[in-house]
Structure formats: structure tokens, C-alpha cells
Chains A and B, each alone.
Chain A
Amino acid sequence: MSERRARGRKISLRWALYALIVAASLLPALVLAPWFADKARGWLLDREMIREEMFHREAEIRLSLETERLISVLENKSDPIGWAMDDRDGDDGFNLLHVVDLFDRIIDREPMISNLMLYNLKGEVLASRTRLPHAPLHLRLDSPALVIPMHGRRFLGAPRALADGHVEFTISVPVRAFGEVRGVLAAAVQVQAFWDGVQALMPPHDSRVYLVDSRGALLAALHAAKGLEGRDAHTLLTGQEIVRELVAGRAWKRRVAYRGIEGDEVYGLATLVPGLKWGIVSEIPEEAIMHPIARTMLMLATVVVLLHVFFGLLSLVVARRLLTPFYALMRAVRAISEGRYRVLPEHSGIAEMDELADAFTRMAQVIGDREERLRTLSRAIEQAAESIIITDRNGVIEYMNAAFSKQTGYSPEEALGRTPSLLKSGEQDDAFYEKLWRTIRRGEVWEGRLVNRRKDGSLYSVLMTIAPVISDGEITHFVAIQQDISKQEELEAQFRQAQKMEALGALVGGIAHDFNNSLAAMNAHLYLMRKDAQGKESLERRIGKVSTLVDSSANMIAQLLAFARKDAVRMAPVDLRALAEETAAMMRASLPASIGLETALGDAPAPVMADKTQLRQMMINLIVNARDALEGAEHPCMRISLEIFDADEAFLRLHEIEMRGDGRFVRLTIADNGCGMDEETRRRMFDPFFTTKPAGKGSGLGLAMVFGAMQRLGGAIEVESAPGEGARFHLCLPLLDGEALADGESAREPAAREEEAESRGDVLLVDDREDVREPIAEFLECVGFRVWQAEDGEQGLALFDEHCDAMRLVVTDMVMPGMSGAEMMRKIRERHGCVPAVFITGYDPERLDGIGDMALVRAIGKPVDFNELEQAVTELLDEADEGAAGGAA
């Protein structure tokens, strides 16, 4: 709920800031304006009140003084009137003319007096004077205005309204003569005139002032009062609270507005006039107070508006200035949320914002680096060759990488949410898994091999490591890394096979070398014996059979050496297509007619670098094996095919072949539909002397020879076979270009040379085995050389030094105890120049170490082919002679 509410309440920072500024600019005005207005009202009201109060004081004094003055006037005049009344002159008893004259003067002098009456003690009017248009003042005998003065007291009457609309009050004083009251002098004072007279004595005053009597009746107004027109002059104003207060004898000085006598809002002031008990009411129109306040309010409102506009504009600028870095920061945050951590917020020039931006940038960089590392880690996990899965603590798969899919065949949709038990193969029992779970639930790492089942049902071996993921001391997940070791196991098998073949090769090579030496000696002796037995037919026949057996043994030894890759081969470009065609044609004759032989060799040459003889032997071996496998087959058929292909990386890696040239290979396939081979046969078929043929029929060296030869040639052999499904042997060799083939063929033209009969000089023959040295010595002597024999290098060096002048040639074994043939030869040449040399070796003559840089050197293998030896000797001597001739010339 609170989250939704939080989402719903989004406030724009820009508008919030602007609202704040507006409030800040308006609120003080809203507070200050009424405050100022209130203060101003107070000040103005005080001023007006004080002014009115001062006027009231003045008016009160003036009214009292004026009243006293009028009374004094009457009292002063009463004396002469009293004397006049006492001055009896005629029937009426007093001088009326004199009184009237006095009355006239009073009337003339005092405009507020409308009537002057002189009464005797009977209440009879003795004299009167009336100011027109006023009516005469008639007092009843019981009137206080008469009764009281008759008792010698002056009387000040209350105002009363007359029929003519005027309001008057009566002042009456006793008229005395000789200390006795003789009459009453009464004067009617017209209130408005009285008030006007008082006003005339006071400074001008323009406010609303009303004079009321003690009953609350209006006596006079200082101005032409609105709203009172048409009402009785002596109208009661007791409807007004201020007047009622006066009637109650209290002054009014309240600072509240009320609806005044003239109907508008006013502030009032009312005071009582001492003695008269009249009241003076001042009403100050609210308008008079509020007008300057309104004017001030207008000014204030104007200032507020202007300030608001100013601050509004200022706020926009400031807000923009303040918020720009905010928005930049927001953009940076957005960029970061999109994974772009290098977007830097611009510097704003505001210290705090820049500090924030810098801190943010640093944080973003740290987060970016961290995320990059996490991403790398994630990518590494995702792209790891090993399959990785992450499960929760219950084993439910939450994550799997691509390798897992590739390895198991399960897509994420199929595997996520399930447990790894979907891989169970049944190869491990329940106890195995229980132990596994116990281990990882203890927080320990489990590591081991197990066999799993792919989605397609096939099994595969893995090396698995399962580690618990611990967070805050509790296992939250498990991470399992499993490495498919099927390939590794295959490689290990291959490695073990290679080691076995290597060991066999070393063993066979050693045996073959010694056996070959023996055969070489036997061959040499047989050669000599055949020369000695010339003409002895039976002996020649036997020697011939022995020689055949020696050749057969030599052939077997040659195959063993080929398997051990220690045979003597002559590498040259060979057209495999032509060779295959030639061999197939040759073998056709030796195959039973029931066996069909098909060839699919094409027309294009397929040049390869190989020993042609060896290559032919390999084909013969395979064809013979196929022939044997076809025995008993219903429709025995053999097929020899040739195709050229581009080797891919997998092919090269599988057979550990280095890429050379353009990577094109030729595949020679010899296939049959014979009995085929089972797994065991396929696993051991290249072992020397392993054969499935009956005893005496196969030596078990054919496929071993092929295997070794293919290794030597830098090619590969692939076999496809299953019981009852025949077999297909693929010989794959790097393909040369066509020109190489042409050069090779021309180089292979043998040169025939006439045997020289005459002596051809001295030869140093060195070999540690006498049985080898003797036949060679005899042969060399036969071909015209004088032979000096030595058993080792030191002896040979000494002999050569001794007979160096006649020495034309050195024939030496390569490997000997002590000084080797090459070392000896090097020293001879150091002492005697470039003497030709023939090295005899039981190993590959082309791979002899230490003679690579020597000129006039030949190497031949054991057993020694005397023809080859003779050819080598002849060529060397010819070259030496040519060199000598060249040097002489």
C-alpha cells in the first residue's frame, strides 16, 4: 500500500521548488499585509480618537462655560430688572420699557436665546421678548423653571422639542429686589444656535459630532447629518448602543466598528458634558480610517505582485541553474541503469552539486568496474567449456550455462526448475548420491567422477565438483561444475596406445637393428660364397635358398623397422593415384576370381611425398588383409577409391597433424565387405605380431608396418569396421602440387655405371663389428680398392693419418663405442681436407645426426646393399674428382 502510495505521489522537483519560492514570496505578504493593515488601522484610529477626544474636551469646556456665561448674563440682568420691577411707576408697578430695552440688548447680543420672559410670582408674564420665528416661551406655574427660581435658585432645564421643530432648553433665574424674589427671568436657549455659538469659539472640526441629551435625544449635529433628514429634531438615538451608554452615564471609547447614526460603519467616541449631562458623540467613518489603509494595501499588493514576478523569474533561473545538474545526474543515473557507467555528469559550478557529481562518478565507476568484473565472471561462467549449474538449497536448478545445454542436450526451458536428477544414468547407486548430498550439505566440496545421461539417452563421463554457496553462514545454493571427460578418456586411451606403440617400436627397432646387422653380414658372406661357388650348382642352389630366406627375413625386418619408423625410406613425390592403379592391377592377378575389385581413383594425379616402394607395400598389405577378410563372404568385393579433401581443424587435431601447405589431403580407401572386426580386434589391430589369421598365414606385421609408415609420412590412418559389416581403411596423406611430382620423377632416373676393374686407391673401413666389416672389406677389395680396416674411430683416425696420401675414401659405421664415425670423419677432414665418406647405419640414413653439413658424404642402411654401396662410392669419387678438377682449373 505504502509503496503504491509512494509511487502515486510523485512531485516534480522543479515545480516543488517554484511553489516554495512562490510561497516564500507570498506568505510574508499575506502575513505582513494584514499585520500592517491592523497596525495602520490602530495608528489611524488612535490618531482620530485622540483628535476627537481633544475636540470633546474642548467642546465640553466650551459648553459648560457658555452655559455658565448665559446664566451669568441672565443673573447680571436680573438685578436691574429687579430694581426696575421695584421702581413703581404707574399701575403696573415697574418700568416695562426699561426691561424690554434690556431684553432687546440681550437678544441682540446672544443669538442662541430665542425667548426672554419675565414672570412675577403669580406666574404672570410681565415682559417678554421673542426672536422670530420662535414661539414665545410660556411656563406653567408648577413648572420647575418657575417654581425653582421662585425659591431663589437658578434653574437649568432639560432640552425639549418645541412645536416649531426647534429644540430649546430653559435657563431661569430669580429676579430679586432688596433681597427678595420678585419674579423669574427665564430664557429659552435654542440648542442648535447655542451649539453653533460654541463651535464658533472652537477650531474648525470636520468630523461627525452629535450632541445628545441625557435621554439620548439628538440635540444638534456639527454637520448636515445624512440619514437624519425628515426626522424629528429631538429624535431619540437610543437605538444606538453608544447613545445608550451615554444615557447610562458612561463614556464610550471602544475601538470596534459599528453601524453608526448615519447608517454606515463607524468608530465612535462619546463623552458626557459635566453639569449639563449632555453627551457628545463623535463618529469616525470607517472609510476615513480604511482609506489610507486601502491605499497602503494597494501599494503593498503592487509590491507583492512585483516581488512575486521578480522572484518568480528569479526562481526560474535559479531552479534551472540548480536543477540542471540534477537532471544531468538523472541522465547519468539513467545511463547507469542502461549499463553505461562512463557517462559523466557535467560540472555545474555549484560546489555541493559538483561534489555530489564527483562522488557519484566515482561510485558509478566503482559500480561499473564491479559490474564489468561480474559481467566478465558471468560471461566466463556462461561461456565456460565446463557445464555449470546453480541450484537452490533443495537442488532445484536456477541457472545453467550454455555448456550444460550443449553437453546434456537440455534447453534452459527444460532444465530450469528441475533437479539434476534428470541426468541420472543409473550407473551410480543411491548410496553414491546420498554420500554426495551429505557431503555438500555439510558445507564441504564434493568432487568425483560419475556417468550421466544426456537428453538423447547417451551416457557421458564427467568430472564433477559441487560446492555449496554460503551466505551469512547458511547454505543458499549449490554450484556444480562438470567437465565432460569422455574426450579426455579417449585421449588417455590414445595416449596409452601411443605409449604402447612407442615402446613396441623401440623394442622392435632395437631387435631389428641387431637382426639386420646379422642379416647384412650373412648377405655379404652369401655374396662372397656365391662368387666362390661359381660352377658348383648344388652349392649355388643352396646358397640361393639361404639367400632367399635372408631376403625374406630382411623383408620382415624392413616391415618391423617401418613400424618402428626406423626403416630406410627414400622420400620423393609419388603419384598416389598412379601407384594405386598400378598396385591394384598388379594385385588383381593374385586375388581369387571370386573377389570383385573395384577402383574409383579418378583421373587427376594425387601427388604425395612418400617412399614409393613403402607406399606400394602398404597397399599390398591392406589388399592382402582384405582378401583374407573376404574369405567365406557371400559376395566378396573389394573397393579401392581415392578422393581429395580439405582437412578441417578437427581432423588435424584428432590425428595430431601439423597444418602444412593448403591443407588438402588425399584419402586412399581400401574397403571390403568381409567379416569385419570386433572392438577388441580394432583396439589391437596395429600391434605387431597381432593377427587373427591362422598360424603360418600371417606375420601380424602388415598393419603394424602400415601404421608406422603412415606416422613416418605425416599422414593418418582411419579405420571403420564392425563385425559382419566389412572394413574400410583410409590412408590420408598431405597432397602435393603437380609440379613437385614432375621434379621428383625426373630426379629419380638411376645412372648406370661401368664397374671399374683397375685399382681405385686406398679405403679406410671402420666398424666395431668384424662380421660386418669383413664382407664389406672383401666387397671393396673386389671392386678394386685397397682396404685399411679399423675397429673404432681412434684406430681409424690413426690409420688414416698413417696412410693419408693414398687414402681416397672412408667407409665407416656411424655408431661405435668411443669415437663415433661422424666425429672421426670430422677430425680426418680437419687434418686432411675433404675426404669422401660413406656412413653405414642401421637407422634411417637420411636422419643421421652430425653429418648434415658435410660434403662428399653418402649414407646407406644396413644390411648393406652392395650395389648401393658401390654406387655411392663411385658417385663420391666422381664428385671428388670433379671437385679436384674444378679446383685445379
Chain B
Amino acid sequence: MSEGVFREVLRAVFRKRRLRLAAGLLAALALTGCDGASAPGEAGAAADARPVVKIGRLICGGHLPLAVVEQRFQGDLPFRLETVQNHDWNDVVADMESGRLAGTFILSPLAMELIRKGLAAHIVLMADRNGNGFVLSKKFADIGDLAGKDAIIAVPHRYSQHHVLLNLALKQHGLSLDDITVVAMPPRDMINALRRGEIDGFVVGEPEGNKAVHLKAGWMAAISPGIWKDHMDHVFILADAFVRKHPDWARALVAALRKAGGFIEAHPHEAAVMGESYTGSEAAVFEQVLTDPPDWIDYSDMRPTLPRLRAMAREMVAARLWPSVPADLARYVDASLLEAGPAHE
């Protein structure tokens, strides 16, 4: 008989006013050693009177550093970090534009498109590099087989690195985007759509791709390091208003996220366990993404640089997402917050 069970019984008994006397007697005799402490989580939340800063995210492996900060490095922050899970990228965009979020992890092309269109925010950190896969239905033996098959390939968003990678992958196999139909679809729907035959494949951030393989919905036709080594994946943008108002908080947050990146590289298993609900994948599946091959997803260098940004811009132009590379691309990035924080690479 566990004490917890009996305490539950007594709690139930205490709900009945008429039973208090009997319960009190039993409790006094049996539970003199029971503590009345509330759950640690409750106590922690109640005791934490710091202001709350909300950061957006999706169920995506690229957002894992946020999970690590939230669960492990909250103490490093002068505020309490609260992540907000959005339904899809449209929600993320809407929340950033409305100012509901101080910042968010976001697809790098989408971030660049938003800034290009005037969003008052800067890319302050790269979430990860690589970390994407190209999953095809098993009815295709190779990416090259897509030619002339009226294939539909899904990407998370039109302005996504996945779209860029799809273009590159097709190029690498002698195809172009004109040989297939690209459809934007939330990653969470891709596996089911693939299973139902609605689509023939998808390019998506991990662990969704590996999960599809795991669920035998498709096969991994290519992983992003093989398509574009060390390409920009997700980036972390902060609203200019937040940075102006709380520069120290912004620096602390960026430093904590870099620290989390180092932690993920050093402790992939623990990070995978922490990120289960962030990634929407079992820890074992995501741990495999983190470790095999080792460069599939990389959190070691989170510094956003103009060359990387420019490279992505050029590929966006190639994928017909942008007509040209903007001349003021340098303003998209603000590495000053990173310079002030400790290096963790």
C-alpha cells in the first residue's frame, strides 16, 4: 500500500464533510509522517514571480533549444520563458505581426520574406543547420522517378527552406520544380496525407521525416546535408520592440538558447527526452536524428551570418520565391545580441 494512494483516499474522504472526523482520526494515526507539500511544478510556478515573456514555436525539431531553455535553463533568465505553440506558420506570422510574441523560431525563408515585407524584427540566431529530409512514397524508387508522374510533393510553407531544398534536390536529379506539383501543407498533416496517397512525398524538418520512415509511410529519399550542407534551417527572430525595451533580457535569452544548443550537442538523449512534446516525436526517434548521422541536424553554430543569409536568398530566387536578392539583406540580421553573450560553440 503506497502512501500516495492512501493520501488520495483521504483527499477523497476529506471532500465529504461528514467524514472529516473519521478521516482525521485515520490520518492522525496513519499519516503522521505524510507531507502536505504541493506538487513541485505547482510550487515552482507559484513561487516564480518573474515577468513572463512569450516565445512562439511549432512542433518542430528545429525548435528544440527552446525546449531545453524552458525546461533546464529558466534560471539563467531574468524573466520566465513561456513558449506558445502555434497551429501553423500563418498563426506564427499573425502573432508576430500583432506583437503577441516577443520572438519566435521560424522558417528562415519565411523570416526573410516577413522582414522583406516590413516586419519589425531581426534574425538574431540560427536555430539549427541542416535537419531536413526528403521523404518519398514507396511507389517512387528515386527522386528522378518523379519525372512525368504528376507527383505532388508537400512542403511546410511556400517560403520555407524545404521548398528551396526541394528545388535543389530536384536539380540534383535532373528535374525542376516544373516536373512536380508543390503543395504547402502543415508538417503534422504530411505523414497522413502521404499514407492516404494525397501526396507523393514531402520535404520537412526533422523529426517528421524520420518519423514517416519509422511509421513506414515512406522512405527517406535525401537528407538535407546531402542536398545543401550546413544550410540555414530555422532562425530565431526577436521583435525590435522587445529588444529595444529589454536589451538585457534579449541578450540573456539569446545566450540561453546558444547554451541550449551546446547542451543538445553534448546530451542528445536528454535533449530528445525534453523535446518529445516540442518535436511531436518519440525521444528515441528524435535522438536518432540528433546522432545518426551526426551532421543531420546541427546546433553547434548558431551564429547568423550574412553569407549564409545571402546563400539562402540566392536559392530562394532560384526557387522562384524571390525575384531577386535584396540589396539590404544585411539589415535582416542583428548579431549584436550574440556578440554580448558568452560563446558556446
Contacts and interface: CB of A to CB of B under 8 A. Distances in A.
Contacts of B23: 297, 301
A809 interface: no
B12 A155 contact: no
B207 to A, nearest CB: 10
Contacts of B30: 30, 34
Contacts of B29: 26, 30
Interface in B1-45: 1-2, 5-6, 8-9, 11-13, 15-16, 18-19, 22-23, 25-26, 29-30
B257 interface: no
B277 interface: yes
Contacts of A249: 211, 215, 280-282
Contacts of A293: 9, 12
Contact of A290 (B12, B22, B181, B186): B12
A156 B196 contact: yes
B272 to A, nearest CB: 11
Contact of A302 (B9, B22, B191): B22
Interface in A118-176: 142-144, 147-148, 151-158, 160-161
B216 to A, nearest CB: 13
B16 A298 contact: yes
B158 interface: yes
Given A147-B183, A298-B13, A301-B26, A215 B87 contact: yes
B181 A151 contact: yes
Contacts of B277: 238, 241, 244, 247-248
Interface in B65-87: 85, 87
Contacts of A241: 277
Contacts of B19: 294, 297-298, 301
A424 interface: no
Nearest to A158: B189
A247 B187 CA distance: 12
B335 interface: no
A572 to B, nearest CB: 111
Contacts of B184: 142, 144
A190 interface: no
A153 B198 contact: yes
B309 to A, nearest CB: 26
A723 interface: no
Interface in B282-323: 282
Interface stretch (A35-43, A464-472, A869-877): A35-43
Given A287-B12, A287-B15, A34 B59 contact: no
A291 B12 contact: yes
A500 B158 CA distance: 165
Contacts of A517: none
B269 interface: no
Contacts of B85: 215-216, 236, 238
A35 B30 CA distance: 13
B276 interface: yes
Contacts of A154: 196, 198
Interface string A9-41: 000000000000000001000110111011001
Contacts of A248: 276-277, 279-282
Contacts of B199: 144, 148
B281 to A, nearest CB: 6
Given A234-B87, A293-B12, A250 B282 contact: yes
A214 B189 contact: yes
A244 B9 contact: no
B150 interface: yes
Contacts of A153: 152, 197-198
B72 to A, nearest CB: 18
Given A154-B198, A160-B87, A248-B276, A41 B181 contact: no
B192 interface: yes
A28 to B, nearest CB: 12
Contacts of B281: 248-249
A855 B277 CA distance: 158
B6 A37 contact: yes
A815 interface: no
Interface string A277-315: 100000000110011011001100110010000000000
A484 B277 CA distance: 116
Interface string B214-240: 010000000000000000000000000
A276 B193 CA distance: 10
Given A26-B29, A301-B19, A147 B152 contact: yes
A247 B276 CA distance: 9
A156 B12 contact: no
Nearest to A172: B198
Contacts of A41: 5, 8-9
B119 interface: no
A217 interface: yes
Contacts of B279: 248
Contacts of A34: 1, 5-6, 9, 30
A31 B1 contact: yes
B337 interface: no
A142 B12 CA distance: 56
Contacts of A35: 1
B188 A297 contact: no
Among B5, B6, B9, B150, the most chain A Cβ lie within 10 Å of the Cβ of B9
B96 interface: no
B59 A275 contact: no
Contacts of A38: 1-2, 5-6, 9
B181 A157 contact: no
Contacts of A305: 22
Nearest to A244: B277
B22 to A, nearest CB: 4
B192 A214 contact: yes
Contacts of B211: 249
B185 to A, nearest CB: 5
Contacts of B191: 277
B154 interface: yes
A257 interface: yes
Interface string A203-226: 000000000011111000000000
Contacts of B87: 160-161, 215, 217, 234, 236
Interface in B137-189: 150, 152, 154, 158, 181, 183-186, 188-189
A297 B5 contact: no
Nearest to A295: B16
Interface string B263-281: 0000000000000110111
A827 B198 CA distance: 181
A79 B91 CA distance: 37
A290 B183 CA distance: 51
Nearest to A241: B277
Contacts of B1: 31, 34-35, 38
Contacts of B8: 41, 257, 286, 290
A151 B12 contact: no
A460 to B, nearest CB: 81
A144 B193 contact: yes
B42 to A, nearest CB: 9
A805 B258 CA distance: 183
Contacts of B192: 156, 214, 275-277
Given A37-B5, A37-B6, A293-B12, A244 B150 contact: no
Nearest to A29: B26
A37 B193 CA distance: 47
A234 to B, nearest CB: 7
A169 to B, nearest CB: 10
Contacts of B215: 249
A26 B198 CA distance: 68
Given A244-B277, A247-B59, 6 more contacts: A37-B5, A143-B183, A147-B183, A214-B188, A248-B276, A293-B12
7 contacts: A30-B26, A33-B26, A156-B196, A215-B186, A236-B87, A247-B280, A301-B22
Give the top 6 A-B pairs by smallest Cβ distance, nearest first.
A290-B12, A244-B277, A301-B22, A34-B6, A37-B9, A294-B12
